[in-house]
Chains A and B, each alone.
Chain A
Amino acid sequence: MSAGRLKDGRQRSVVSMVTMFLLAVLWTLPTLGLLITSFRTRDAAATSGWWAALWEGGWTTENYARVFEQADLGNAFLNGIAVAVPATIIPIMFAAFAAYAFTFMDFKGKDVLFIIIVAVMVVPIQVAFQPLLDLLGPRGLGISGQYLAVWLLHTGFGMPLAIYVLRNYMASLPYSVVESARIDGCSNFQIFWKLIAPMAMPAMAAFATLQFLWVWNDLLIARLFLSNDNTTVIVKLQQLLGTQGQGAELLTAGAFISMVLPMIVFFALQNFLVRGMTSGAVKG
């Protein structure tokens, strides 16, 4: 079963190598199939499988041009960015101060308040929709359909996870740093800005990566709280899926376009993503 040893002296396990290779291929094939299909003409994609593309042919880049025209995907892409970037960064600011208070200050009700954070992470966000549709919709503020509504929602929903992740990280920072800054007469605000915020950057990046993927990929909130003109790529993709019959070739191109940005974020910030997941898991 073993064919020599690895560089670090462990036994080379052929079974693991083969199985892992097969699993990696299996996990990649569906995405690869989509990518191939998105570059084939409608006829070619409907008459031969994507695995046969190499010898059956039927290649084109037309789908990408058409999906931007017909499904208004360019606009939706901009919307996605305009929604996701503020909704990713704004919660961090609010959460960081709260996490600082939870980590470096002592006050009455601290345990209870933090337990509320832990509990709220489990609560399904669906509980919020009808009351917030009321509050943000025409019966209330009248901002439903606009970016603002979605920024607010994602900031609120992301807050428990942000506080949790940042607090866990800050708790691992050396307490003596804060202590000596206090003795030097720094106010909490100064300690936060000059010492803790810079030191907590990795945790902020970790949360930001998770939150960006979550907001960009979200369907539910965008579907309910964004007007058609302001809506994101994911909602457009859902609409394309609804019209399967006519738009099959647009669907594949649209799906791939919707994946480009999160993929870039994923590859660039993979380490932060892993850190975010290991420190806070995922939100409700």
Chain B
Amino acid sequence: MKRPGPLLTLLAGLVLGLFMLTLNVTSGTKTASSSYSEASQSPSPSPKKSAPASPTPTVTPSPTPSKSAVPNASYAGRTDDDTASVAVTIRDGKAVAYFCDGRYKEAWLRGPVADDGTMKLTAPNGAVLDGKLQQGKKIRGTVKDEGRKYAFTADKAVKPSGLWRATAKVRGAKIDGGWIVLPNGRQTGIVTRDGKVSAAPRIDPETGAVTVDGQQLTAQPVTP
């Protein structure tokens, strides 16, 4: 009789690993960055609905046990005057958005998304984003920041476009970087070093790798 213990240990690890993997794959549509699958399936069953009706039909085909009527996805685009980028990530009825001009203006906004797809997100610095999800395909809205109002359109963004953030300490300085990667590959980013704002170096959109002040950082996709 051979000792079964080690084999059981291995099997337990295998089962646990497969279990976690299944958990990841089945809850995958909840994560902002794995929105490919959603992009391909969700909008199709509601063809040619001319009225900007509720986005509810887009939810039905999605197998996610999401409690919210709004599908989990990311959106990214430019303001109408082309001075800044806006990206929004929706997950479980909550949204996080980043407004960034790539030079000195930025705002991280958060808030809930109503079942009809409208959202009002706010930032600690007072910026406000009002937006509405249109047929699950894009978000139209405005960002009010420092007394100015910017209209924007953000189209559905699939990985690696979307919203990225990296925080770190480099030689004692607190680094906070935010990036918006547009579907066409264009990047807008700002790095804040101990409160001082400047344009950010490009990130590798495949891995999130970026070098700030000689230090290799890894930006992560942002979720609410």
Are A and B co-members of a single complex? no
